[in-house]
Amino acid sequence: MKIKWFAHASFLIEGDGLRIITDPYTPDEMGYPPITEPADIVIRSSGDDGGHCYAEMIPGEPEVVTATDIIDDGAIVQGLKITAIPVRESLIHKDSPLDNGMYRFTLEGIRLAHMGDVGNPLTEEQLDALTGVDVLFVLAGGPPTLELDDLREAIDIIHPRIIIPMHYHLPGTKVKMLPISDLASRFSNDEIVWMDSSEFDLSRDTLPLARRMFVLRSSLVA
């Protein structure tokens, strides 16, 4: 499997013959360049948040799966089973918090989960739905997404083998977010792998035995 970070909450995940792009943002709203790589499937946490839902940008006529539409029964798209966990934007920092969804799927035998745009501490039910994942894409920019101390507590309960931060401050962003250093300060130095690349390869055999945070470089932002 290959994992590549574009910017914000958008990744390309390749495996089992599929190209999957997560939570494509609206370039004008976020301040990041457009994504020009094609996909077979786009998975987005909601259909009404410009920072997470702009599937129209992605070339290749992908099938689009919206997490809020598959909460009850999940979906199987091109052989990929996707499940969603209902969450909301911050009840404290948002005047009219919108619904969105975290989502998970298995590719190349590796269990992955994306935290969408959740803004509140995870409930026991939400944590249970994420338990057992190998790779967790986490919201690292602080409010209006979940507080970093709440995120750290959730990570300790979920026990992912790999943590991949997303949704934090990058040069040019138009949205206020914390830098990655704020989340990194909550982990020991030997837990963090600072990558010089936007992408890396992964297999079940190369999953680390101990928890590691892989901090990628955005492929679209200098």
Domain 2-215 has CATH 1.10.8.80: no
209 Cβ contact partners less than 8 Å away, ≥ 6 residues apart: 161
CA gap 214, 138 in Å, rounded: 11
Rounded alpha-carbon distances, angstroms, from residue 46 to 68, 89, 128: 6, 11, 21
Q: Are 2 and 201 in contact (CB under 8 A)?
A: yes
Kindly tell me the sign of the dihedral angle through the C-alpha atoms of 60, 17, 195, 165.
Answer: positive
Q: pLDDT tens digits for 64-81?
A: 999 999 999 999 999 999
CA gap 146, 182 in Å, rounded: 13
CA-based angle 13:11:172, to the nearest 5?
A: 160
Q: What does the pLDDT average to over 174-179?
A: 96
Q: What does the pLDDT average to over 185-198?
A: 97
Q: pLDDT tens digits for 72-114?
A: 999 999 999 999 999 999 999 888 898 999 999 999 999 999 9
Proportion of the chain above pLDDT 90, given as a percent? 96
Q: pLDDT tens digits for 31-50?
A: 999 999 999 999 999 999 99
Domain boundary assignment for the chain:
2-215
Bridge partners (DSSP) of residue 163 are: 136, 213
Mean pLDDT, the chain, whole residue set: 97
pTM higher than the cut 0.85: yes
